[in-house]
Amino acid sequence: TRSTRPQRLLNAVRKHATRGDPQSVISAIDHFCRHSEWAMNIGDEKGSILDSVVSELNPEKVLELGTYCGYSTVRIARLLPPGARLITLEFNADYAAIARQVIAWAGLEDRVQLVEGASEDWIPRMKEHFGIETFDFVFLDHWKDRYLPDTKLMEDCGLLRKGTVLLADNVICPGVPDYLQYVRNSLSYKSCYFKSHLEYTKAEDGLEKSVFLG
């Protein structure tokens, strides 16, 4: 049977990246997506914005919604101190299997916990199952119609604290209008837009950074 695009992306990582070198994994995926096959990773341009937000925050507890092949998981985890933890939720078992190998190739498995399942099922279980009190940073990059309900669910489950930062991918393309309207008008958030481009293209896209005010 034909290989899948995530499998071909993993092959490119194994072929061109150095084990234990996260930057080489990032570069191998970006090269594959620019020159071989487009894939829905955040990419290098928006990825640099993600890097600057994470570096400024130095979060201990991170949640990522939507692992896909693990590209942004590697981008975030490579910037975390060894004691920090990144929990990443992925619904699709095939994507999860690829992402585990990408994360391992980067040598970051010690600070990443990939959980298979749906965010709506796992968000309510973060406290009792993972011993998480609150998250310092949340990266949203999963199904676009889940950004808003999952944000409200995180609020209701007490997983956000004063100062928690939410960073949402694709707020222009494909777009998340209901989520944008909410974080930009709610008195519980201070929100700002980082204009950029859709990964590996010239189309406009951007990231929305929203600080929870409690």
Ligand X SMILES: O=C(NC/C=C/[C@H]1O[C@@H](Sc2ccncc2)[C@H](O)[C@@H]1O)c1cc([N+](=O)[O-])cc(O)c1O
- Is the Cβ–Cβ distance between 135 and 187 less than 8 Å? no
- CA distances to 79, 159, 193 from 63, rounded to whole Å, are 14, 10, 20
User: Rounded to an integer, what distance in angstroms lies between the CA atom of residue 169 and that of residue 16?
Assistant: 27
- Whose structure tokens read 């973060």? 126
Q: φ and ψ at 84, to 5 degrees?
A: -75, 160
Asked if 118 touches ligand X (CB under 6 A), the answer is yes
Smallest distance, ligand X to C-beta of residue 83, A: 25
Residue 150 is a catalytic residue: no
Residue 21 is a catalytic residue: no
Q: Which of 72, 73, 151, 170 touches ligand X by CB under 6 A?
A: 170
Instruction: Choose the catalytic residue: 64, 90, 169, 205.
Output: 169
Q: Which of 39, 65, 106, 172 touches ligand X by CB under 6 A?
A: 65
Residue 60 is a catalytic residue: no
Instruction: Choose the catalytic residue: 44, 46, 170, 205.
Output: 170
Cα radius of gyration rounded to whole Å, the chain:
16
Asked if 141 touches Mg ion (CB under 5 A), the answer is yes
- Is the Cβ–Cβ distance between 99 and 90 less than 8 Å? yes
User: Which residue has the closest beta carbon to ligand X?
Assistant: 66
Q: Which of 150, 169, 205, 208 touches Mg ion by CB under 5 A?
A: 169
Query: Sign of dihedral through CA atoms 98, 145, 120, 148?
Result: positive
Residue 208 is a catalytic residue: no
Q: Which ranges of 109-212 does DSSP label H, i.e. alpha helix?
A: 119-122, 126-130, 147-156, 177-185
- The tokens for 131 are 């011993």
Residue 141 is a catalytic residue: yes
- Whose structure tokens read 């204009």? 195
Instruction: Choose the catalytic residue: 30, 44, 90, 141.
Output: 141
Number of neighbours of residue 20 by Cβ within 10 angstroms: 12
Which residues, 9 to 48, sit near Mg ion by CB under 5 A?
Answer: none
Asked if 157 touches ligand X (CB under 6 A), the answer is no
Asked if 119 touches ligand X (CB under 6 A), the answer is yes
Q: Which of 30, 44, 169, 208 touches ligand X by CB under 6 A?
A: 169
Query: Sign of dihedral through CA atoms 128, 82, 189, 152?
Result: negative
Smallest distance, ligand X to C-beta of residue 154, A: 12
Asked if 40 touches ligand X (CB under 6 A), the answer is yes
Give the footprint of ligand X on this chain (CB under 6 A).
40, 65-68, 89-92, 95, 118-119, 141-143, 146, 169-170, 173-174, 198-199
Give the footprint of Mg ion on this chain (CB under 5 A).
141, 169-170
Which positions are catalytic?
Answer: 141, 144, 169-170, 199
